[in-house]
Amino acid sequence: MIFRSPFPDVAIPDVGLPEYLFGDLSQRDGTGRAEHPALVDGSSGRSLSYGELAAMIDKVAGALAARGVRKGDVVGIFSPNTPFYAVAFHGVLRAGAVATTVNSLYTADELASQLRDSGATVLITISAFLDRAEAATKADGVRVSEIIVLDAAPGHASLSDLLAEGAAPPDVVIDPATDLAVLPYSSGTTGRAKGVMLTHRNLVANIAQICELIEVGSETRVLAVLPFFHIYGMQVTMNAALHVGATVVTMPKFDLPEFLRVIAEHRTDRVYIAPPVAVALAKHPIVDSYDLSPMKVLFSGAAPLDEELAAAVKARLGCTIRQGYGMTEMSPVSHMIPDVREDIAIGTVGLIIPNMECKLIDPATGDEVGTGVPGELLCKGPNVMVGYLNNKEATDSTVDADGYLHTGDVAVIDENGVVSIVDRVKELIKYKGYQVPPAELEALLLTNPLIADAAVIGVIDEEGEEVPKAFVVRQQGADLDEAAVRAFVAERVAPYKKVRVVEFLEAIPKSASGKILRKDLRAREKA
Ligand code: 4UV
């Protein structure tokens, strides 16, 4: 049974992303859009107007072209959220190049692995991240020939330098349907992080699809605390907001008092979060010290939002709460509760967005199931990725011959078309909305000479948070305790990937073909 979006299809303009976001600026000169603030730095209050932003994007594109960056080349961006992130990001796309956005918390090794895999030739970063950037670019197989430091650092071109060059943007012709725009990394349903190939059309489509369901316009002030390197921050907080001419207020990282101050002082009426922020908003006493009345809509995604928790936030703050569901591979949104739909429960992910259709299949048999029965969610639409970079096998096992993306999430659709995410059949662990690929931690654990075998799954801790747990088999006679295993991992990965619980086993349960039987480990955990 195919479940279609209840909404009519929306038109998807046949243009590249920069054109879609900024193409009409010159025609709108005089209407005030060029002077309207596009981005505001939440800490300093410094702002960039749409006119300034567009001019900077063109100059960055010109400067990149002058450095030999050509259409289809990959440029890494390794930076926290600031207004200049948007300048760098759209400068790369305006040059016809592809942005591979890197998690700010990555270690030098993790950064090197993304740069190597993506084939990036230029890296754009900030001075505070330069140590990691330089170490990564020295690693074997990394092709980066220049590091640009947005603020400034001796020996590197800065954003001011690029702008001062005053080069005109190159003449590139974008084919939105086939030319890649971004290459974010996601582990998908299995294995290590892979480059997710998203075209200009994928990104433009998803913005057009979601803008039908949210009430945003030039007077909207969006808080961008979710990182731009992750698809949710990139597309929903940054790009969709810039498309409608809204103002995006940036924060480089989450810090509760600063978050509350920025909402109050910058009067942001639309705030995008992942569920852990809702916990703080429901419970922390400091929340009462700020005037949060400007916040009209609080939108949660990237992990399950608990219905009671959402109700507690609503009761305390009086704002509208909405939830969406998405995946990097879908640019990212496939489901959301529209702003105007008071009737849809906040603990659900709402309705299928326009231009999409879904199926649910029984994970054991692959048979399609109907309403009211849980099944793996399959989604099809113009926002579904073209595939994983250099990984046909992973692409083929994720997007089937009919174009349906197998999400690895288990959902139920009710008779009104409202979707709830109820379970996950993929390996992926989500810690506070961040992806933790078990395969990566397992490979790392196996590099420890005291460890004979290992498996990692997600378990729920006492605060209701999903956390990575490692099952470890010691080498014979090895002296290894839980603290040592935790420390071994913590020294080598970004903090959100840390193993938080360890259990020692005699053997890891495996199938005849040697695959880890995660469902046995999960069952053991439940017991
Ligand atoms: O690939 P990824 O890291 O992507 C995301 C994207 C989340 C977004 C984006 C835009 C929105 O508007 C929005 O509401 C959410 O997280 O991880 C994808 C996996 O995260 C889990 C699920 O397992 C996906 O396959 N996930 C994402 N959103 C939800 C969720 C949710 N609302 N409830 C439960 N799980």
Q: Could you please report the per-residue DSSP string of 263-294? A: HHHHT-SEEEE-HHHHHHHHH-GGGGGS--TT
Show the beta-strand stretches assigned E in 414-488.
419-424, 429-431, 434-436, 451-460, 466-474
Give the lowest-confidence range in 30-34, 480-484, 486-490: 30-34
Cα of 204 to ligand 1 centre, how many Å? 19
The DSSP bridge partners found for residue 120 are none
Cα of 304 to ligand 1 centre, how many Å? 8
Determine whether the shortest distance from the Cβ of 220 to ligand 1 is under 6 A: no
Cα of 177 to ligand 1 centre, how many Å? 24
228: helix, strand or coil: coil
Instruction: Please report the pLDDT score of residue 464 as a whole number.
Output: 87
Whether the pLDDT of residue 313 is over 80: the answer is: yes
Determine whether the shortest distance from the Cβ of 421 to ligand 1 is under 6 A: yes
Comparing CA positions, the residue from 30, 343, 344 lying closest to residue 335 is 344
Task: Give the global pTM.
Answer: 0.97
Cα of 312 to ligand 1 centre, how many Å? 22
The 10 Å CB-count burial string (b at 16+, else e) for 310-349 is: bebbbeebebbbbbbbbbbbbbbbbbbbbbeeeebebbbb
Conformation bin of residue 456: beta by default, left when phi > 0, alpha when psi is -120 to 50? beta
Q: How far apart are alpha carbons 468 and 441 in whole angstroms? A: 9
Q: How far apart are alpha carbons 377 and 404 in whole angstroms? A: 9
List pLDDT tens digits, range 96-106.
Answer: 999 999 999 99
Determine whether the shortest distance from the Cβ of 376 to ligand 1 is under 6 A: no
The DSSP bridge partners found for residue 186 are 194
Cα of 451 to ligand 1 centre, how many Å? 33
Cα separation values, 476 from 453, 469, 470, 480, 486, Å: 11, 22, 18, 11, 19
Q: How far apart are alpha carbons 321 and 292 in whole angstroms? A: 14
Whether the pLDDT of residue 108 is over 70: the answer is: yes
Determine whether the shortest distance from the Cβ of 159 to ligand 1 is under 6 A: no
pLDDT mean over 299-328: 97
- Per-residue pLDDT band for 24 (boundaries 50, 70, 90) equals confident
Residue type, 303: A
Residue owning the nearest CA to atom 33 of ligand 1: 304
Interface predicted TM-score of the whole assembly (ipTM), two decimals: 0.99
Cα of 273 to ligand 1 centre, how many Å? 11
Residue owning the nearest CA to atom 9 of ligand 1: 232
Determine whether the shortest distance from the Cβ of 104 to ligand 1 is under 6 A: no
Determine whether the shortest distance from the Cβ of 74 to ligand 1 is under 6 A: no
Atom of ligand 1 nearest to the CA of 299: 14
Determine whether the shortest distance from the Cβ of 106 to ligand 1 is under 6 A: no
Whether the pLDDT of residue 30 is over 70: the answer is: no
Determine whether the shortest distance from the Cβ of 231 to ligand 1 is under 6 A: yes
Atom of ligand 1 nearest to the CA of 186: 1
Atom of ligand 1 nearest to the CA of 434: 3
Cα of 394 to ligand 1 centre, how many Å? 19
Which stretches within 228-350 are classed as H helix?
231, 240-243, 256-266, 275-283, 307-317
Residue whose tokens read 């995008």: 272
Determine whether the shortest distance from the Cβ of 313 to ligand 1 is under 6 A: no
Residue whose tokens read 């303009």: 13
Determine whether the shortest distance from the Cβ of 350 to ligand 1 is under 6 A: no
Cα of 411 to ligand 1 centre, how many Å? 13
Instruction: Please report the pLDDT score of residue 27 as a whole number.
Output: 58
Determine whether the shortest distance from the Cβ of 37 to ligand 1 is under 6 A: no
Q: How far apart are alpha carbons 68 and 199 in whole angstroms? A: 22
Q: What is the largest CA-CA distance in the chain?
A: 77
Determine whether the shortest distance from the Cβ of 327 to ligand 1 is under 6 A: yes
Whether the pLDDT of residue 31 is over 70: the answer is: no
Determine whether the shortest distance from the Cβ of 185 to ligand 1 is under 6 A: no
500, exposed or middle or buried, with CB in 10 Å at 0-12, 13-18, 19+?
Answer: middle
- Per-residue pLDDT band for 95 (boundaries 50, 70, 90) equals very high
Q: How far apart are alpha carbons 418 and 348 in whole angstroms? A: 7
Determine whether the shortest distance from the Cβ of 435 to ligand 1 is under 6 A: yes
Q: Could you give phi then psi for residue 479, rounded to 5 degrees?
A: -100, 100
Of 236, 325, 329, best ligand 1 pocket probe by most atoms within 8 Å of the beta carbon: 325
Q: Is the peptide bond before 184 cis (omega within 30 degrees of 0)?
A: no
Determine whether the shortest distance from the Cβ of 379 to ligand 1 is under 6 A: no
481, exposed or middle or buried, with CB in 10 Å at 0-12, 13-18, 19+?
Answer: exposed
| Cα 369–Cα 373–Cα 379 angle in degrees, nearest 5 | 55
List pLDDT tens digits, range 283-301.
Answer: 999 999 999 999 999 999 9
Determine whether the shortest distance from the Cβ of 186 to ligand 1 is under 6 A: yes
Q: How far apart are alpha carbons 151 and 85 in whole angstroms? A: 11
503: helix, strand or coil: strand
Determine whether the shortest distance from the Cβ of 324 to ligand 1 is under 6 A: yes
Atom of ligand 1 nearest to the CA of 408: 25
The 10 Å CB-count burial string (b at 16+, else e) for 85-101 is: bbbbbbbbbbbbbbbbb
Whether the pLDDT of residue 26 is over 80: the answer is: no
Determine whether the shortest distance from the Cβ of 275 to ligand 1 is under 6 A: no
Atom of ligand 1 nearest to the CA of 300: 14
Cα separation values, 277 from 280, 490, 499, Å: 5, 24, 22
List pLDDT tens digits, range 149-194.
Answer: 999 999 999 999 999 999 999 999 999 999 999 999 999 999 999 9
Q: What is the mean pLDDT of the chain?
A: 96
pLDDT mean over 420-427: 96
Instruction: Please report the pLDDT score of residue 33 as a whole number.
Output: 81
Pairing relationship of beta strands 297-300 and 247-250 according to DSSP bridges: unpaired
Of 103, 198, 231, 327, best ligand 1 pocket probe by most atoms within 8 Å of the beta carbon: 327
Contacts of 336 (CB under 8 A, 6+ apart): 210, 213, 214, 301, 322, 323, 324, 325, 349, 350, 351, 353
Cα of 301 to ligand 1 centre, how many Å? 6
Determine whether the shortest distance from the Cβ of 216 to ligand 1 is under 6 A: no
Whether the pLDDT of residue 25 is over 80: the answer is: no
